[in-house]
């Protein structure tokens, strides 16, 4: 069993900032569980909607509960006219994560959470409508079409692909999206989830918590790394090319996106799972470049730095093989992680105290007031 990473230093590393019953990360060095269930089992056997239910309602649904839940989510995919109007104003060159942030915030204006008793309905609405928000904007901005956001596909992942491509996804693509959404659903006190919990601790509304979390996820050190990883691997024509490119980057002490982790020491358990699906997709599309390049990056980073691929690295090639534009990679993370964020918001609200840590002061002491006309 892998050793746990020694956690200390800046960035609150290793400090316990609260309790959760939702998830364990790296408990035995490499493990990941959602409410006690191992991620490998969940990724193999579950539907994403079952995982959302597990996180949000506290138990796995039975068949009847799952059917009703999926039906409810399917009925909530429509966009209000005022939200469509706002999305149509956002320029084509906007980053889709900014579109998600605005879309979520606008939804909070139109369907405001008036009372915490409404939280489950507001959360279900976000889960259902986020794929509609991003694909509506994307296709309007890039193709000039106003799409219908309803579809017969009953899974969130399949629905997203259908809206994006305007046709039913293949079984394989729907399956990979399902696995991907499960892998990204929840990860304890990561930066974006902690953002959501801090916001929740002020007793703010659920859309504010999620809007803030989207902003935190956007950065390349967190969710934005899947896009950055794609930009990296696309630069290389062959594995040898990748090897010399990476060696140069390491020499220049550049960060290699999609590698390393704040908590895991030797591996991220999500990587082996998405890597295997990326390989299947590479075979399907007859890829002879991106997958071998990605594998070489993995080998070089481990050999040179003992750094391993995190969840983001092989997601890049997997999404690319399914024809998903690179700038939509992190919004997919949002479509999934909204389940984890909101489960944390619910947990925070159940046992709340405002989150307010202290700081060590490093500024000047006893500064004397200088009238403005005497200042240099
Ligand atoms: C789904 C997710 O959000 S997973 C994370 C996605 N983010 C990325 O892939 C971005 C690239 N990775 C990183 O920047 C980091 O590994 C993080 C942000 C994920 C974790 O940061 P930390 O906890 O500070 O990393 P850690 O303490 O393990 O770093 C140890 C050393 O390895 C270096 N290192 C860590 N990751 C990388 C990397 N990807 N490339 C190059 N060097 C790295 C650090 O700079 C540090 O070196 P130093 O001691 O000389 O400063
Ligand atoms: O846990 C973290 O710090 C980042 C991460 O992998 C995630 O949020 O999925």
- CATH number of the domain at 309, please: 1.10.230.10
Q: Are residues 255 and 277 in the same domain?
A: yes
Q: Are residues 202 and 259 in the same domain?
A: no
Query: Relative to the alpha carbon of 302, which ligand is closest?
Result: 1
Compute, in angstroms, the gap from residue 189 CA to the centroid of ligand 2: 8
**Beta carbon of 331 within 6 Å of any ligand 1 atom:** no
Q: Are residues 158 and 58 in the same domain?
A: yes
Reported as a single tens digit per residue, the pLDDT across 12-30 is: 999 999 999 999 998 876 6
* pLDDT confidence band for 325 (50 / 70 / 90): very high
Q: Please say if 344 is a catalytic residue.
A: no
CB–CB of 310/274 below 8 Å? no
User: What's the whole-number average pLDDT of the chain?
Assistant: 96
> Global pTM?
0.97
* pLDDT confidence band for 175 (50 / 70 / 90): very high
Residue of 187, 179, 124 lying closest to 340 (CA atoms): 187
Has residue 78 been placed in a domain? yes
Q: Are residues 87 and 190 in the same domain?
A: yes
Q: Quick one: what percent of the chain has pLDDT higher than 90?
A: 95
Q: Are residues 138 and 177 in the same domain?
A: yes
Domain that holds residue 105: 23-220+326-350
> Which DSSP string do the residues of 167-188 spell out, in sequence order?
SPPPHHHHHHHHHHHHHHS--T
Has residue 364 been placed in a domain? no
Residue of 99, 127, 124, 122 lying closest to 111 (CA atoms): 122
CB–CB of 193/341 below 8 Å? yes
Q: Are residues 150 and 264 in the same domain?
A: no
Number of domains into which the chain is organized: 2
Dihedral (C-alpha) 335, 340, 343, 344: value to the nearest 10 degrees?
-130
Has residue 82 been placed in a domain? yes
Residue nearest to atom 9 of ligand 2 (CA): 187
* pLDDT confidence band for 1 (50 / 70 / 90): low
Distance CA(360)–CA(218), nearest Å, equals 28
Q: Check residue 193 and give its pLDDT.
A: 98
**Beta carbon of 265 within 6 Å of any ligand 1 atom:** no
**Beta carbon of 262 within 6 Å of any ligand 1 atom:** yes
Q: Are residues 250 and 207 in the same domain?
A: no
Q: Please say if 154 is a catalytic residue.
A: no
- Which residues contact residue 92 at a Cβ distance below 8 angstroms, ignoring those fewer than 6 apart? 141, 142
CA 287 to chain centre: 26
Reported as a single tens digit per residue, the pLDDT across 29-63 is: 669 999 999 999 999 999 999 999 999 999 999 99
CB–CB of 309/273 below 8 Å? no
Reported as a single tens digit per residue, the pLDDT across 281-323 is: 999 999 999 999 999 999 999 999 999 999 999 999 999 999 9
Q: Are residues 207 and 91 in the same domain?
A: yes
Q: Check residue 29 and give its pLDDT.
A: 62
| Residue owning tokens 């964020």 | 341
Mean pLDDT of 232-245: 97
| Residue owning tokens 């690179």 | 326
Residue of 18, 56, 39, 280 lying closest to 182 (CA atoms): 39
* pLDDT confidence band for 151 (50 / 70 / 90): confident
Q: Quick one: what percent of the chain has pLDDT higher than 70?
A: 99
Q: Are residues 66 and 181 in the same domain?
A: yes
Has residue 80 been placed in a domain? yes
Has residue 359 been placed in a domain? no
Has residue 374 been placed in a domain? no
Q: Are residues 46 and 173 in the same domain?
A: yes
């Amino acid at each position: 069993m892998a050793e746990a990473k020694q956690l200390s230093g800046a960035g609150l590393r290793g400090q316990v900032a609260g309790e959760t019953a939702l998830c364990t990360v790296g408990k035995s060095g490499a493990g990941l569980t959602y409410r006690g269930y191992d991620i490998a089992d969940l990724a193999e056997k579950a539907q994403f909607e079952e995982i959302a239910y597990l996180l949000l309602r506290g138990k796995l649904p039975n068949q009847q509960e799952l059917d009703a839940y999926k039906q409810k989510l399917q009925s909530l995919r429509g966009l209000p006219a005022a939200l469509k109007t706002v999305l149509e104003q956002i320029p084509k060159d906007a980053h889709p994560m900014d579109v998600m942030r605005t879309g979520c915030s606008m939804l909070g204006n139109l369907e405001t959470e008036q009372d915490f008793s409404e939280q489950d309905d507001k959360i279900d609405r976000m889960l259902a409508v986020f794929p509609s928000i991003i694909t509506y904007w994307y296709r309007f901005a890039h193709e000039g079409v106003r799409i219908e956001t309803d579809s017969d596909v009953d899974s969130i992942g399949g629905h997203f692909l259908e809206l994006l491509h305007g046709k039913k996804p293949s079984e394989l693509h729907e399956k990979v999206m399902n696995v991907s959404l499960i892998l990204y659903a929840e990860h304890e006190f990561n930066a974006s989830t902690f953002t959501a919990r801090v916001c929740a601790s002020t007793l703010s509304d659920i859309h504010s918590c999620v809007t803030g979390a989207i902003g935190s996820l956007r950065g390349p050190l967190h969710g934005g790394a899947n896009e950055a990883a794609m930009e990296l691997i696309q630069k290389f024509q062959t594995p040898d090319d990748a090897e010399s490119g990476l060696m140069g980057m390491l020499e220049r002490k550049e960060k290699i996106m999609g590698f390393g982790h704040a908590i895991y020491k030797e591996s991220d358990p999500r990587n082996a799972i998405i890597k295997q699906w990326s390989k299947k997709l590479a075979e399907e599309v007859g890829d002879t470049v991106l997958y071998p390049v990605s594998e070489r990056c993995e080998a070089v980073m481990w050999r040179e730095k003992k750094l391993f691929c995190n969840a983001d690295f092989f997601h890049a090639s997997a999404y690319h093989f399914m024809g998903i534009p690179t700038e939509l990679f992190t919004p997919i993370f949002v479509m999934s992680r909204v389940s984890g964020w909101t489960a944390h918001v619910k947990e925070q609200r159940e046992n709340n105290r405002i989150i307010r840590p202290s700081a060590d002061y490093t500024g000047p002491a006893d500064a004397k007031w200088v009238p403005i006309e005497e200042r240099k």
